[in-house]
């Protein structure tokens, strides 16, 4: 019997990607908007604390098990920035164009352009679950000063994948899911849930 869980997101792409793998452990994810759950605050400085806060928030308001992720790009020369602030690196309102512009300007001062995408997934059985299931994934690359590719979102046009000689925005959906930080974290989470 398939069990329902709430995904602490309304991102349709994420929902589809998550459901493909969650089906193997008899879960079906439903976006929090389906239950009228507003976005949770993300006040923390670590990915795991933000993901846990989002999962507990969604579970508390629905009474269902919940899954949340927090992810971003971390640039080594910038001490891990933008990190948890990736979506709002250039301030409010959120803007991929302004975020990328700021990152390219910051990186121009540095020789080291190495970076990685990082993702943490947190699954809670209930809002006060004392043992959340946590999985993470890391995808190494290099930030480039000019964009390439039409796919993906966020920093993908600037995130170069050396082993493929392509930007994340140039990869097929299948390639990206296989390699990405989120794909890695999701596969690790599914193994733990088994």
In a structure prediction context, what are the per-residue pLDDT tens digits for the chain, which is 194 residues long?
A: 889 999 999 887 788 888 988 998 999 999 999 999 999 999 999 999 999 999 999 999 999 999 999 999 999 999 999 999 999 999 999 899 999 999 999 999 999 999 999 999 999 999 999 999 999 999 999 999 999 999 888 999 999 999 999 999 999 988 998 999 999 999 999 999 99
- Dist. CA 67–CA 18, nearest whole Å: 10
pLDDT at 14: 83
Is 150 strand, coil or helix?
A: coil
- Dist. CA 66–CA 58, nearest whole Å: 6
How far from each other are the two terminal CA atoms of the chain, in whole angstroms? 15
pLDDT at 155: 96
Q: Which domains does the chain have, with CATH numbers?
A: 3-193 (3.90.950.10)
41 to 20, 54, 72: CA distances (angstroms): 28, 7, 16
Return the residue matching tokens 């992720």: 69
- Catalytic amino acids? 70
Nearest CA to 143 among 68, 82, 56?
Answer: 82
Structure tokens at 141: 């690359």
Q: What's the pTM value of the predicted model, to 2 decimals?
A: 0.93
- Dist. CA 177–CA 49, nearest whole Å: 24
pLDDT at 160: 98
- Inter-axis angle of helices 12-22 and 181-193, to 10 degrees? 40
**C-beta of residue 32 within 8 angstroms of C-beta of residue 58:** yes
């Amino acid at each position: 019997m398939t069990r329902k869980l709430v995904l602490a997101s309304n991102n349709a792409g994420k929902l589809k990607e998550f459901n493909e793998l969650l089906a193997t452990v008899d879960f079906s994810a439903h976006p929090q908007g389906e239950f009228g759950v507003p976005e949770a605050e993300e006040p923390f400085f670590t990915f795991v604390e933000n993901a846990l806060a989002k999962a507990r928030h969604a579970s508390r308001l629905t009474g269902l098990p919940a899954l949340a992720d927090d992810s971003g790009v971390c640039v080594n020369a910038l001490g891990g920035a933008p990190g948890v602030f990736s979506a709002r690196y250039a301030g409010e309102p959120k803007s991929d164009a302004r975020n990328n512009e700021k990152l390219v300007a910051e990186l121009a001062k540095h020789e080291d352009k190495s970076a990685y995408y990082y993702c943490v997934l947190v699954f809670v059985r209930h809002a006060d679950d004392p043992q959340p299931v946590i999985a993470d994934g890391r995808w190494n690359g290099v930030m480039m000063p000019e964009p390439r590719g039409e796919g993906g979102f966020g920093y993908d046009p600037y995130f170069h994948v050396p082993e493929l000689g392509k930007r994340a925005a140039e990869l097929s959906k299948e390639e990206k899911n296989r390699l990405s930080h989120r794909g890695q974290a999701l596969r690790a989470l599914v193994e733990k849930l088994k």
